[in-house]
A and B are shown apart, each in its own frame.
Chain A
Amino acid sequence: MLDLLPILAQQIINGLVLGSIYVLATLGLTLIFGVLGQINFAHADFMTLGAFAAYFVARASGGNYLIAIVAALLVGALLGLVVNQAVFSLLRGQDETRPLVATIGVSVLLENAALAFLGPVPYTFDSPYSSQVIRAAGMYFTMQSVLVMFIAVLAVGSLYAFLKLTFVGKALRALSQDQEAAGLMGINKKALIALTFVVGSAFAGLAGAMLGPILVLTPFAGATVIVKCFAIVIIGGFGNVEGTIVAGLMIGLIESFTTQMLSPGMSDIVVFGILLLTLAVRPTGLIAERREENV
């Protein structure tokens, strides 16, 4: 057995990188749930299609991963806009279950459309930064890991700045607190709901681009991550952005240390055990006390 300290330090790095990926993947889900109270099962497929968009743009641009990330973000935003206008906006205002079931329908439709056009064989999406390995003090990390963490910080910072510092962001927060009252104050409810979906889906696309080189990229790739994303949303506090960050990083660290100390097969048992414990002991999640304070 080698020196334990570098191994544990390495697992902390691994956990933080994995946690950053989870935060990125969950951010859009949290925003949509926080503002609209809507669970979006199609979020996984927006991530998958973002990953594929990044893959094809990277290939077309001679391996330019940074352009691919921007393209994935735009594809996610466009998907959000189209799906919201074509499906969800028509069902909103009716009972709560219809939009929920519609997200499942959109998810199945997108998965099978992707299967028909892209095929079932896994794609290999290599970021040029994945092979750049930095080794120091018995530890190592790839430039891709650094980029993932940087993009996660940038995404969280941008969302905060948008929500706290801009007029539209404040209007979104007002909408999340009371849609009727916000409407009476002259806030364009429909436009802001659409904007929430566009921003949330853009984050899904962005997450797809960052996940692409990590995931086994098939039309079902997002489905392997989304269940954990839902767990993070619940553990973090049902749509609370700060809670999502804490829960995402925590789950990443728990997975790394479960792999080190026990077995990767035990990770889900530990993560979902914590989910059940949270629901039992602190049903509001780690941070939020009231849903209207979430966003």
Chain B
Amino acid sequence: MGTLRRGFSIASMFLVGVAVLELSLAPANAQAPAPSIKIGALLATSGPGAYQGAQQKEGAELAIEQLNKAGVNGRKFQLFHEDSACGPLPATQAAKRLIESAKPDVIIGESCSDGTLAVMPLVQQAEIPLINASASSLKITEPGNAWTFRIFPHAVMQSDSFARNAYDKLGARTAVLLYENTNAGIDTIDTFEKAFIAKGGKVLVKIGFGRDVNDFTSIATRIAGLGLVDIIPTASLEGQGVKLAQALAQAGITKAGGGKAVQLSNIWLPAGFDEKAGKPAVGFIRIVQFNHLENRAPVQEFLKLYKAKYGADKTPSHLQAQGYDQVMLIADAIRRGGTDAKSIRDHLLATKNFEGATGHVVFDGKRQNSSPDTIHYVETTADLGWKTLDWQ
């Protein structure tokens, strides 16, 4: 009996102990988990620039999946996407929807310069940091907007280097400049023109076109009528880029068509452009912001994760890498103490030597990434692969 009573006593003490323990732990358990960091994504998933936003979104989703396995400083991440369609009006509407409904802590995008310029006043008014990765217009960072960051090399960073290399390494002396009539297209070609003329080159003609142009035969004929041209720098989105390369080869202007001209492009065309354009792309030289052949650890890590998620037969382009890096950069700011829009902005500005798949990120006073290692030159080979050029 005594044993039984003692047993009850021990059991009672154990239960009381458990209850006390429960009570002491209760406040901790009841504490709500830290809210997720809400990332707004203004990415084009319709219209001619849709390939950009769709691929950037893939990269951003991959990064969020990786980060949410453990969280960062107790915070998880949520992506809220709105289709900004690479145009000022749809981008503005998308930004308003995003800001009003999701109330994001930080926004990535827009995919194009015109769209980015249109949403910048809105995000500034809402005091939300905007991280841009694929718009090249100088107007985005030159005025020094306090809330807009860009990890993408702007038009001058790309064009100065390109014009110098075309003049020195290719021996180019004459150029025909082709560009879409957008802020990015005009900035890209104007800055190239200035740099090329400063080196001693001559621009024979500048030809601008709208995004609704499908047939480039007449443009190619006009260029053929100018006589020998050394280089044809081109600023166009992927679809028109493919058609232009094909039309220039058919007209016998570029090397792929038996001519002498070399077509060039800044960071506008994703990996896969070469296969889409086919033989006319052979000899095409362009800048890429992500080279999957690079041996840097972040590149290979990103490549491994991407293939695991989206398929071993798929190769990501700079667009997926940009989306991935944008989110990883935000995570880096959270890791260093960012908690809300303002502190995320401040920690972004203090970013030091963040190394992503697209290169290092070091923001200058205008919040422009000033790291030169985001620029790689590649030439399309006969098998439609890439040859990395040793251009600086």
Contacts and interface: CB of A to CB of B under 8 A. Distances in A.
Interface string A188-228: 00000000000000000000000100111111100011010
Contacts of A10: 221, 224
Given A264-B207, A265-B208, A7 B242 contact: no
B242 A220 contact: no
A14 interface: yes
Contacts of A219: 46
Nearest to A135: B252
A4 to B, nearest CB: 8
A158 interface: no
Contacts of A264: 207-210, 213, 218-219
Contacts of B276: 122, 124
Given A7-B221, A259-B222, A120 B53 contact: yes
Contacts of B278: 124, 126, 131
A263 B276 CA distance: 27
Q: With a 10 A CB-CB cut-off, give which of A18, A121, A142, A215 has the most chain B CB atoms.
A: A121
Interface string B206-233: 0111111111011101101111000000
Interface string B239-260: 1101100100011100001000
Contacts of A14: 215, 217-218, 221
Interface residues of B, number: 44
A17 interface: yes
Interface in A1-39: 1-2, 4, 7, 10-11, 14-15, 17-18, 21
B50 A140 contact: no
A255 interface: yes
A268 interface: yes
B88 interface: no
Contacts of A124: 242, 275-278
Q: With a 10 A CB-CB cut-off, give which of B45, B210, B218 has the most chain A CB atoms.
A: B218
A192 B364 CA distance: 69
Interface in B155-209: 181, 207-209
Given A133-B250, A263-B207, A264-B207, A122 B238 contact: yes
Contact of A215 (B214, B250, B257): B214
B336 to A, nearest CB: 35
A119 interface: yes
A268 B50 contact: no
A240 interface: no
Q: With a 10 A CB-CB cut-off, give which of B47, B51, B222 has the most chain A CB atoms.
A: B222
Given A120-B53, A216-B48, A260 B222 contact: yes
A130 interface: yes
Contacts of A126: 278
B250 A142 contact: yes
Contacts of B217: 14, 17-18, 256
Contact of B51 (A11, A121, A220): A121
Interface residues of A, number: 44
B54 interface: yes
Contacts, number: 118
B84 interface: no
Given A121-B54, A256-B218, A268 B227 contact: no
B139 interface: no
B279 interface: yes
A274 interface: no
A224 B257 CA distance: 28
Interface in A153-168: none
B55 interface: yes
A259 B210 CA distance: 12
A260 B219 CA distance: 7
A220 B46 contact: yes
B243 A214 contact: yes
A121 B316 CA distance: 13
Q: With a 10 A CB-CB cut-off, give which of A122, A140, A218 has the most chain B CB atoms.
A: A122
Given A122-B238, A142-B250, A7 B214 contact: no
A17 B221 CA distance: 14
Contacts of A66: none
Interface in B33-74: 44-48, 50-51, 53-55
Contacts of B252: 133, 135, 140
A146 interface: no
Interface string A35-67: 000000000000000000000000000000000
Contacts of B226: 1-2
A115 interface: yes
Nearest to A221: B214
A192 B205 CA distance: 54
A291 to B, nearest CB: 30
Contact of A119 (B54, B209, B221, B222): B54
B209 A265 contact: yes
B204 to A, nearest CB: 10
A120 B46 contact: yes
Contact of A11 (B215, B218, B227): B218
A142 B251 CA distance: 10
Contacts of A218: 48, 50, 239
A229 B246 CA distance: 25
A260 B212 contact: no
7 A-B pairs closest in CB distance: A216-B239, A120-B50, A259-B218, A124-B276, A122-B239, A7-B225, A264-B209
Given A10-B224, A11-B218, A124-B275, 17 more contacts: A1-B226, A7-B225, A14-B217, A120-B50, A120-B53, A124-B278, A130-B250, A131-B279, A133-B250, A215-B214, A217-B239, A218-B48, A218-B239, A224-B212, A259-B218, A259-B222, A263-B208
23 contacts: A11-B221, A18-B215, A21-B215, A119-B54, A120-B46, A120-B47, A122-B238, A124-B277, A131-B279, A133-B257, A140-B250, A140-B251, A142-B250, A214-B214, A216-B239, A217-B239, A220-B47, A259-B221, A260-B225, A263-B207, A263-B208, A264-B209, A265-B210
